[in-house]
Structure 1
Amino acid sequence: MYYRLFMLLGLIVSLGACVSEVPTGQTNATVTGSKPAPGSKPSAGDGATGSRGVPAELIPASDRATPTYYAIAQRIEPVARRHCRAAGLPNCNFTFLADIALGRPSNAWHTRDGTRPIVIVSLPFFEEVENIDQLAFVLGHEVAHHILNHQPRGRVDIETSALTEALDAHREGGNVTEAHQRGAVAGRLQYSQEYELEADALGARIAWESGFDPAAGATYFARRLNVPSPVHSTHPPNAARLAAVRRVIAGF
């Protein structure tokens, strides 16, 4: 399962990355319990490459390798599963992985292996968050993407927009290939900011129902730089996300 997942990482990053803006540069070791000890190597039971072909850079969250991450995921998972089942999705068995590859940027993202939902967090991200509430909020955000069916919906958005642009170009005698590519980009941008805000809202609720403080968790956005041009970004401005989450929390 994990081998197939690893082979799709390029597509995953383009469709599922949720905290990919450039961080402020300030790191924090508050959640270092999520990070394997320096010099330690995961055993085959923790996800190292073994007979099943599991790539060594993706290790399951565990109380031995990533204790803080594991503890938070254990509280998030049953709440996420309940919301997932209420949404009628076919697979609500969440898997939480840590990407321990050297040189990986700070990021957290979601994907699917078939129908199975996967959440992956890179090691630099654990240094970036300030407290467990921020990590819990981000995990809630990622599982919310799955519950809200954002990846399949996003693919439909991209394909529909690309096809529409290509057909228009064909009728007008334009470059169909360029129009198809242009439409795919437009389709991705058209709804992705909306999806991020939807995931923020549901993620805040999941964090709250899991016993964390989503208001404290959402302060994560205050520590990240905005992208230069929000119009051309897949993510809303951080200040807007923080304000939207606070409005949602006020209604709990």
Structure 2
Amino acid sequence: MIRFCLGVLVAVALAGCEAPRMQRAPVSAPVSVQPDTGRLPPRQAAANFVAVAGAMEPKIEQECRARTRGQRSCDYRIMIDDRPTRSPNAFQTVDKAGNPVIAFNLALIAEARNPDELAFVMGHEAAHHILGHLSSKSRDASAGALIMGVLAAASGADPDMISQAQNMGANVGSRAYSKNYELAADRLGAVITWNAGYDPMRGAQFFTRLADPGDTFLGSHPANGERLEVVRRTVEQLRSGAI
């Protein structure tokens, strides 16, 4: 079950801190948009978040159980990171018990223009856990640190230089497959979003308002256009019944 509290948002929008359970959320519901920024009023943004979390939860856990078959916990929690920040952000992690956590910051909730965008980001972050990306990135970092540390030691480096080489290797290793992980999460996230009754293509338009990282060497995220293309192809397959 997804559990979350709205924290700061409660003061400006809603009473209570538990998402209502919904069978299916309305897609592309008309909302009132502030004309100066294009952002939703805080009350509407908070209501969208609650509704999307309630609709996405059963689909996320269903997909998790089907794909992991008991190898990972599928008891997701949705949390709001209320630390002040200017940049919209969401991330996936696990708690001490190994349960998956999806965190949205307030800037992202405010920036999302419709429920589809919130649903797609939520599906994307949920997919990282389902696909085991946290452990994969940890192994990548460990392998990079080991390789660079061995090379530094073989060249006669002192302990401080070996430590620096290991840190650099861990950073390079963690980024080596990062773009592939992001694209895989986009694809599975689109499937989860679709199954929950939202529009993944409309949701992925969130990328068009983010700075495009382009195709930088060892960048952590793919180019926005590449991500949109992955979602487009996935939606075509969903519509044709190929997935």
TM (normalized to structure 2)? 0.75
Q: 1:154 aligns with which of 134, 137, 160?
A: 137
Distance 1:27 1:160, change over 3 A: farther
User: Could you tell me the percent identity over the aligned residues?
Assistant: 35
Indicate yes or no: 2:40 matched with 1:30: yes
* Corresponding residue for residue 94 of structure 2: 112
* 1:214-237 Cα shifts (integer Å, max 9, x gaps): 011111111211137622420111
* 1:177-204 Cα shifts (integer Å, max 9, x gaps): 2221121111011011111001000000
Which amino acid is 2:40 matched to?
A: T
* Corresponding residue for residue 75 of structure 2: 93
Q: CA deviation at 1:117?
A: 0.7
TM (normalized to structure 1)? 0.73
Q: CA deviation at 1:69?
A: 1.0
Distance 1:28 1:119, change over 3 A: farther
3-state SS, counterpart of residue 29 of structure 1: coil
Measured in 1, the distance between the counterparts of 2:215 and 2:133 equals: 23
- After TM superposition, the runs of 4+ consecutive aligned structure 1 residues lying more than 4 A away are none
Indicate yes or no: 2:222 matched with 1:212: no
Q: CA deviation at 1:99?
A: 1.9
Measured in 2, the distance between the counterparts of 1:155 and 1:127 equals: 31
Distance 1:224 1:153, change over 3 A: same
In 1, are the aligned partners of 2:120 and 2:203 still within 8 Å (CA)? yes
1:122-201 to structure 2, matched below 5 A, reads 122-174=105-157, 175-201=161-187
Q: CA deviation at 1:141?
A: 0.3
Please identify, of 197-206 and 170-179, the stretch whose mean Cα deviation from structure 2 is larger.
170-179
Q: CA deviation at 1:212?
A: 0.2
Measured in 1, the distance between the counterparts of 2:41 and 2:207 equals: 17
Structure 1: 5+ residue runs without aligned partners? 1-25, 36-65
Which structure: larger Rg?
2
3-state SS, counterpart of residue 129 of structure 2: helix
Measured in 1, the distance between the counterparts of 2:101 and 2:50 equals: 14
Q: CA deviation at 1:161?
A: 1.1
In 2, are the aligned partners of 1:34 and 1:70 still within 8 Å (CA)? no
* Corresponding residue for residue 227 of structure 2: 241
Measured in 1, the distance between the counterparts of 2:86 and 2:207 equals: 20
Measured in 1, the distance between the counterparts of 2:193 and 2:41 equals: 17
Measured in 2, the distance between the counterparts of 1:239 and 1:142 equals: 19
In 2, are the aligned partners of 1:161 and 1:184 still within 8 Å (CA)? yes
Q: 2:52 aligns with which of 72, 81, 90?
A: 72
Which amino acid is 1:32 matched to?
A: P
Which amino acid is 1:142 matched to?
A: E
Measured in 1, the distance between the counterparts of 2:119 and 2:130 equals: 16
How many residues are treated as equivalent by the alignment?
198
Structure 2: 5+ residue runs without aligned partners? 1-35, 239-243
Distance 1:149 1:133, change over 3 A: same
3-state SS, counterpart of residue 93 of structure 1: coil
Distance 1:237 1:31, change over 3 A: farther
Measured in 2, the distance between the counterparts of 1:169 and 1:74 equals: 51
